[in-house]
Chains A and B, each alone.
Chain A
């Protein structure tokens, strides 16, 4: 059991290392897809913290991505800030604006649970979309904001390979941070809230506050992904903040496996792969994507990350069941 766990944890850095090694040699189109997957992976981490660990299905995470994305674009567009060595500062500001937005929205959203939480976060997400769409003087309305070049500080991020490594480092740090978080006392308390909120209150937890903090942290992750999103595309428009992005993020987590952290990136790989890659081959790619969703929900309730466990279960058991023993309260 513990061996298995240890192996699992080692697999992730190994895969990441492999990715870092081979990425400079893949075709440029594929490289852009990998970057996109990693950025969505960060957004998926924020959804996973809420859905997989806290049990709150958020359908508005695109709002925080949007806040980060617009912040980065507006800083470049208006103040020419964030195109040189001040770029890391923009990443920090992106986190802060995402967290601040979540801190405000959380006051409305956290009181709800289940489907009500879903609807409220959806509505709040649409508020951000509405602002992005209508506040022409600031956001450029429908046209969005063009960011014509990526930052350069010693190295030029306009080079996709360099940009990949920046995104890669940010994703790895985000993943590592989240891994520590979900294993911390606070992270465990979120899992407790997912399992039984009434019990948590009876154990002395202010569950509202714990959920509120989780929501703010998730917002920060969303903002971080937004800054990178702007620089990947060179443009930010209300289209990026629209409901579809939130739904995608949620489905990526469900597809990959909620409560697994890296599952989100795996889900992102499948979705981005089908949408961007398969769509260049066939016109009916949306049917494939839909089919994948349906099949996953039917047969893999724990997502793609649950696949190894499922295969193991199907394989003829090697008699490893623990002996059933009668229990008693020993006094």
Chain B
């Protein structure tokens, strides 16, 4: 209970900073570690993402990729190390406070509002960073500017004609697209994509890659991806994770040529 008061009520009055400090990287991880009991899921990780960076994270299953995302977004508390977002030490912050700095995330397993329409999903995402999300005395439909913004975004991605369809009635591929659209609705400066192409066909993956390449060049993207075609098509630099450790970081060409990477992926000795 006191925990709840500390993490919830106190920041309400104190307020976390909402603005990035200029000149700092979007994300800087310093000696980040996380253990689950005796298992070191992430250990001593240093990583930086600058504005406009397109960075990929690859690694075999169980390398700690999704755990890393959960640490960055505040789903799990860290064991040691620091998460610095836009110049603020956010290691102890709640997820929603980190999001307010301009971070956004999508999920590996589709995580949407299945019984709400496409438009309602988007409205929820778009109002997330606004103070009006607590308004109780006015219909949501009366916020014209908010609707305009969502309409714009839906038209851009070709979902406007299906705005009233409930999410659960969309195909898997469409849901993966909405997953990213929700991530963009908060107008982030840093976008964390957890396997955006998971479960997509080759054709859909290519479309996804093309879509990601068309996003604002100022937007920093950190992307976990198993599909190497998508990964290499979108990112310029790649970090390779193996058993929670960063074993290699470099441009896509360097990673392609790296012996170490070939070894952990192919098991060549």
* Docked-complex contact B128 and A204, CB < 8 angstroms: yes
* Docked-complex contact A327 and B134, CB < 8 angstroms: no
A41 interface residue, CB < 8 Å from B?
no
Given the known inter-chain contacts A199-B112, A209-B12, please indicate yes or no for A188 contacting B171, CB distance below 8 A: no
* Docked-complex contact A195 and B164, CB < 8 angstroms: no
* Docked-complex contact A199 and B113, CB < 8 angstroms: yes
Would you list which residues of chain A between 170 and 225 have a CB under 8 Å from chain B? 180-181, 183-189, 191-192, 195-196, 198-210, 212-213
* Docked-complex contact A185 and B96, CB < 8 angstroms: no
* Docked-complex contact B99 and A202, CB < 8 angstroms: yes
* A198, A206, A330, most chain B CB atoms within 10 A: A206
Complex contacts, A205 vs chain B, CB 8 Å: 96, 128, 133
B108 interface residue, CB < 8 Å from A?
no
Report the Cα distance A296→B124, complex, angstroms. Answer: 32
Complex contacts, B211 vs chain A, CB 8 Å: 329, 331
A295 interface residue, CB < 8 Å from B?
no
* Docked-complex contact A328 and B99, CB < 8 angstroms: no
* Docked-complex contact B135 and A185, CB < 8 angstroms: yes
A327 to B, closest residue via Cβ? B174
A282 interface residue, CB < 8 Å from B?
no
Given the known inter-chain contacts A1-B164, A203-B99, A206-B96, please indicate yes or no for A198 contacting B111, CB distance below 8 A: yes
Interface size on A, residues (CB 8 A): 39
Would you list which residues of chain A between 101 and 151 have a CB under 8 Å from chain B? 107-108, 110-111
* Docked-complex contact B164 and A203, CB < 8 angstroms: no
B114 interface residue, CB < 8 Å from A?
yes
**Distance (whole angstroms) from the CB of A325 to the closest CB of chain B:** 9
**Distance (whole angstroms) from the CB of A221 to the closest CB of chain B:** 13
* Docked-complex contact B4 and A107, CB < 8 angstroms: yes
B41 interface residue, CB < 8 Å from A?
no
Complex contacts, B133 vs chain A, CB 8 Å: 185-186, 189, 205
B158 interface residue, CB < 8 Å from A?
yes
A212 to B, closest residue via Cβ? B8
A181 to B, closest residue via Cβ? B136
**Distance (whole angstroms) from the CB of B213 to the closest CB of chain A:** 8
| Chain A interface SS verdict (over half) | helix
- Total cross-chain contacts (CB, 8 A): 137
Report the Cα distance A185→B134, complex, angstroms. Answer: 6
Selected from B75, B99, B204, the residue in CB contact (under 8 A) with A198 is B75
* Docked-complex contact A195 and B113, CB < 8 angstroms: yes
* Docked-complex contact B128 and A203, CB < 8 angstroms: yes
**Distance (whole angstroms) from the CB of B137 to the closest CB of chain A:** 6
Would you list which residues of chain B between 152 and 187 have a CB under 8 Å from chain A? 156-159, 162, 164-165, 170-171, 173-174, 177, 182, 185-186
Would you list which residues of chain B between 186 and 211 have a CB under 8 Å from chain A? 186, 204, 207-208, 210-211
Complex contacts, B111 vs chain A, CB 8 Å: 196, 198-199, 202
* Docked-complex contact A329 and B134, CB < 8 angstroms: no
**Distance (whole angstroms) from the CB of B154 to the closest CB of chain A:** 11
**Distance (whole angstroms) from the CB of B87 to the closest CB of chain A:** 19
* Docked-complex contact A191 and B113, CB < 8 angstroms: yes
Report the Cα distance A180→B140, complex, angstroms. Answer: 9
Stretch from B30-38, B115-123, B236-244, B246-254 at the A interface = B115-123
Report the Cα distance A26→B44, complex, angstroms. Answer: 77
**Distance (whole angstroms) from the CB of A125 to the closest CB of chain B:** 18
* Docked-complex contact A208 and B8, CB < 8 angstroms: yes
**Distance (whole angstroms) from the CB of A111 to the closest CB of chain B:** 6
Complex contacts, A108 vs chain B, CB 8 Å: 1
B257 interface residue, CB < 8 Å from A?
no
Report the Cα distance A192→B124, complex, angstroms. Answer: 7
**Distance (whole angstroms) from the CB of A116 to the closest CB of chain B:** 14
* Docked-complex contact A188 and B158, CB < 8 angstroms: no
Complex contacts, A328 vs chain B, CB 8 Å: 158, 204, 207
* Docked-complex contact A189 and B157, CB < 8 angstroms: no
Selected from A107, A202, A330, the residue in CB contact (under 8 A) with B73 is A202
* Docked-complex contact B138 and A184, CB < 8 angstroms: yes
Complex contacts, A202 vs chain B, CB 8 Å: 73, 95-96, 99, 104-105, 107, 111
Report the Cα distance A213→B8, complex, angstroms. Answer: 12
B13 interface residue, CB < 8 Å from A?
no
Complex contacts, B95 vs chain A, CB 8 Å: 201-202
Report the Cα distance A147→B216, complex, angstroms. Answer: 69
* A107, A187, A196, A322, most chain B CB atoms within 10 A: A196
B129 interface residue, CB < 8 Å from A?
yes
Selected from B114, B143, B214, the residue in CB contact (under 8 A) with A185 is B143
B260 interface residue, CB < 8 Å from A?
no
Report the Cα distance A184→B133, complex, angstroms. Answer: 8
* Docked-complex contact A188 and B124, CB < 8 angstroms: yes
By Cβ-Cβ distance, the 6 closest A-B pairs, closest first, are: A195-B113, A203-B128, A204-B128, A330-B158, A204-B99, A329-B211
Name 7 interchain pairs, CB-CB below 8 A, sorted by A.
A187-B140, A199-B182, A202-B105, A204-B128, A204-B129, A208-B8, A329-B177
